[in-house]
Structure 1
Amino acid sequence: MTTELRVLDPSEWDRWYGVLELAFGGVPEAPEERQLWRDLTEFDRFLGVWDGDLCVGTSGAFTFRLTVPGGASVPAGGVTMVSVAGTHRRRGILTSMMRRQLDDLRAAGESLAVLTASEPEIYGRFGYGVAAYTARATIDTTRVRLSVPEGTDGVVLRQADLVESSAACEAVYARLVPTRPGLLAPMPGWERVALLDPPDQREGASPRLCVLAERDGEVVGFTHYSIKPDWTFAGATGAVNVHRLFGLDPVAEAALWRFLCSVDLTSEVRIQSRPVDDGWQHLVSDVRRCSPTLRDSLHVRLVEVGAALEARTYQAPVDVVFEVEDAFCPWNEGRWRLVGDAKGASCVRTSDPADLTLSVRELGSAYLGGTSLVSLAAAGRVRESREGALVEASVAFGSPVAPWLPHGF
């Protein structure tokens, strides 16, 4: 068998996307969802593997800017839509796509690659590390009460049309982008993702709804949610599904949470994705009744070690030499000296003795400040040669707020 890997031509998109749908269960997407992803496709960054006229592999990359510790917005390739036909596995197709993709990202000057994984075990061998987690929860509003901060009553809430309010909501989100690692800067067309609401994916819930939070006539927060009605013989047991919630300050967010927890004819609030350090956990009277769970979210791969480590800042002074292992991208292998603080950093090659030895995967996990190098060392994945270097680097790499990816791609 001979296969050809090539850049996707627009005329091939429907066949290409059909292979992707089959790999993810074979259920066709709603026409509006399919059209959205076609519109967002950057054809010069998407790849297909072909066996004759048959597409047997798919992958792509979106152009993103990712917030890193310190607030900088760094170019990153958003790896997406990766699949290999079940008939063509174990033939090196995935490896060939990952190889081409990382080479292309490097040539484009992007020092980071990011992705969300349908199966997390796949991407570690290509140098990706889990850098951010997301939290889910279900608040039992029949048993849980909220204690909101002073000033919450001064926030005015207003029901708004989902589409007509989109610009105001995106403006709130844009102001928050520099405040948390992992957030993606707004890109043209991506506001449509938040509005995507195919009826066949609602699972009995209402269309998506929007409530704006306002203070002195200014929009200071919003939530997108839906309501799933349900009844028992004893009464209503509906649920509120929280799709998005952002506030410019704790008071605005608290007002939105209080609203969601008091929607008529409901008994629970289902939180689908929030930061692991989100403030709602400290508003509730009993977090046990909220059943919080964690899941891996954003996986990060350093395409260019030096440029990536220089792109962020460090919450404490650091001067450490890393011995980096990276068999898949050998240009990263070797010793790198990182010197940095809260104002900036430099990371250059050095012949000095290594203080810490680790693979590029561990650097990816620690990059956004959500996974500590000390924790990785406890699993044997970081080795210390100079006493004290591990704690020094681990503290420096940390972030005051947990990284979080607000939406998939």
Structure 2
Amino acid sequence: MATELRELRPDEWDDWYGKLERAFGGTPEAPEERALWRDLGEPERCLTVRDAGEVVGTAGAFSFRMSLPGGAVVRVPGVTLVSVQPTHRRRGILRAMMRHQLADFRARREPLAVLTASEPAIYGRFGYGKASEAVSMTLDTPRLRVAVPDGADDVRLRLVDPEAGLADCEKVYEQLVAGRPGMLARQPGWERLPLLDPEADRDGAGPVLCVLAEVAGEVRGYARYAVKAAWNGGGPDGTVVLRDVEALDPVVYAALWRYLFGIDLTSRLTVRNRPADDPFLHLVDDVRRCRVVVRESLFVRLVEVGEALAARTYAAPLDVVLDVTDPFCPWNEGRWRLTGDAKGASCERTTDPACLALSVRELGAAYLGGFGLGALATAGRVRELRPGALREASVAFGTQLKPWLPHGF
């Protein structure tokens, strides 16, 4: 098979994106959604694979900035728009695109990459490790109570047009990014994503609404949601569909949840993406009635092991030699001495005896603190070679808050 892999030209975007839609089932996106992804797209970071001139493979990357343990916000490519046409599966096209991308990331001096997966089993063989989880919930609001701390009654709630409230919401969001690993600092244009609201995707709900939470005249939180009206034989039975909710302190956060629980004519609240350790789970009196579902979210790939491990900080002093395997990116293979603490870290090549042996995939899984090295060891995916090294590294890689990706890409 004679195929051509090259960078996408801007004038090819529409046809290229159409082939991506076809690979994902063929249903065209709403015009406003398609237009947003075209505006956000970076053709110079997109790949096209063609067979006799026809697009048979696509892959792209967004230029993000992501928070790491310790608060640093670093450049990171977000792998996206990946597809292979059903006529060309199992011919090495995906592998060729993944290899080309990782070489490009390395040339750009981007030490790690991230993605979300439509099929999680695909990307482990390319060195991506499952690094964070998210929860979705269906809340039985009439049978749940939200405990609010003192001061919640002083929070002023104000409904605003989502466009008019965008700047205030983004100001709150921006202040939260460094505090939780895995969050994306919004690059220009990405602030539009939370407002994307095609009528065809509402599933019977109304348009998105925005409520701002103020204390002493300062906006300190917000929630964006829609209401899906419904009635049954017993009366109103509507659903609050939560898009996002953020706050700068626990009092405002609790006040926003109390508001969402109290919206008239509704009896349930659906939540699609919250952190695995969301404080809301400690505000309700019966978690069983929240019907919590946990699923994987962000995958992390260390492109340059040394630079990536040195970019974050560590919860406890650490001095450990890692024996890393990475057949897909062999420049990472070998032994690395990682030393660090809460102030900084370094990671350099070494010939010293190894303390832990693991693949780059496990390093990706543990990188943001979402999964402990100790837990991975119990699954046989990390081997302890020096007694005590596993405990030392597990504690050091840990984080105060679990990593979370606030939106897809």
TM range (shorter): over 0.9
- Give the deviation of 1:285 after TM superposition: 1.1
Secondary structure, in 3 states, of the residue corresponding to 1:32?
helix
Instruction: Give the aligned residue type for 2:308.
Output: A
Q: How does 1:231-242 map to 2 (within 5 A)?
A: 231-242=231-242
Aligned to 1:354: 354
CA distance in 2, matches of 1:25, 1:394: 42
CA distance in 1, matches of 2:218, 2:404: 26
- Give the deviation of 1:74 after TM superposition: 1.3
Q: What is the aligned-residue identity percentage? A: 63
Instruction: Give the aligned residue type for 2:322.
Output: F
Cα deviation digits, residues 150-199 of structure 1 (max 9, x gap): 11111000001011111110110001111000000120000111110000
CA distance in 2, matches of 1:261, 1:10: 46
- Give the deviation of 1:403 after TM superposition: 0.3
CA distance in 2, matches of 1:325, 1:291: 39
Q: How does 1:174-213 map to 2 (within 5 A)?
A: 174-213=174-213
Instruction: Give the aligned residue type for 1:391.
Output: R
Aligned to 1:365: 365
Cα deviation digits, residues 73-118 of structure 1 (max 9, x gap): 0111100010000000111100000000000000001011000000
Whether 1:268 and 2:268 are equivalent positions in the alignment is yes
Aligned to 2:148: 148
Secondary structure, in 3 states, of the residue corresponding to 1:19?
helix
Secondary structure, in 3 states, of the residue corresponding to 1:386?
coil
Whether 1:12 and 2:7 are equivalent positions in the alignment is no
Secondary structure, in 3 states, of the residue corresponding to 2:354?
coil
Aligned to 1:397: 397
CA distance in 2, matches of 1:168, 1:109: 34
CA distance in 1, matches of 2:5, 2:252: 50
- Give the deviation of 1:10 after TM superposition: 1.2
CA distance in 2, matches of 1:29, 1:271: 23
Aligned to 1:103: 103
- Give the deviation of 1:15 after TM superposition: 1.0
Q: How does 1:17-56 map to 2 (within 5 A)?
A: 17-56=17-56
Count residues with an aligned counterpart. Answer: 409
Secondary structure, in 3 states, of the residue corresponding to 1:125?
helix
Instruction: Give the aligned residue type for 1:17.
Output: Y
Secondary structure, in 3 states, of the residue corresponding to 1:121?
coil
Cα deviation digits, residues 47-66 of structure 1 (max 9, x gap): 10011220000000000111
Aligned to 1:216: 216
Secondary structure, in 3 states, of the residue corresponding to 1:387?
coil
- Name stretches of at least 5 consecutive residues in structure 2 with no aligned partner: none
Whether 1:325 and 2:298 are equivalent positions in the alignment is no
Q: How does 1:210-359 map to 2 (within 5 A)?
A: 210-359=210-359
Aligned to 2:380: 380
Secondary structure, in 3 states, of the residue corresponding to 1:257?
helix
Aligned to 2:115: 115
- Give the deviation of 1:23 after TM superposition: 1.2
Q: How does 1:64-103 map to 2 (within 5 A)?
A: 64-103=64-103
Instruction: Give the aligned residue type for 2:160.
Output: A
- Give the deviation of 1:405 after TM superposition: 0.1
CA distance in 1, matches of 2:228, 2:129: 36
Q: Which runs of 4+ in 1 moved over 6 A?
A: none
- Give the deviation of 1:218 after TM superposition: 0.7
Cα deviation digits, residues 119-165 of structure 1 (max 9, x gap): 00000000000000001111111111111111111100000101111
CA distance in 2, matches of 1:146, 1:75: 38
- Give the deviation of 1:256 after TM superposition: 0.6
Secondary structure, in 3 states, of the residue corresponding to 2:375?
helix
Secondary structure, in 3 states, of the residue corresponding to 1:380?
coil
Q: How does 1:159-170 map to 2 (within 5 A)?
A: 159-170=159-170
- Give the deviation of 1:5 after TM superposition: 0.5
CA distance in 2, matches of 1:340, 1:9: 43
CA distance in 2, matches of 1:25, 1:150: 50
Aligned to 2:61: 61
Cα deviation digits, residues 316-335 of structure 1 (max 9, x gap): 11100000000000000000
CA distance in 1, matches of 2:233, 2:191: 41
CA distance in 1, matches of 2:228, 2:300: 35
- Give the deviation of 1:293 after TM superposition: 1.0
CA distance in 2, matches of 1:242, 1:148: 19
Secondary structure, in 3 states, of the residue corresponding to 1:246?
strand
CA distance in 1, matches of 2:262, 2:23: 41
CA distance in 1, matches of 2:377, 2:19: 40
CA distance in 2, matches of 1:67, 1:273: 18
Secondary structure, in 3 states, of the residue corresponding to 2:173?
helix
- Give the deviation of 1:24 after TM superposition: 1.1
CA distance in 2, matches of 1:137, 1:174: 25
Secondary structure, in 3 states, of the residue corresponding to 2:244?
strand
CA distance in 2, matches of 1:24, 1:263: 36
TM-score (norm 2): 0.99
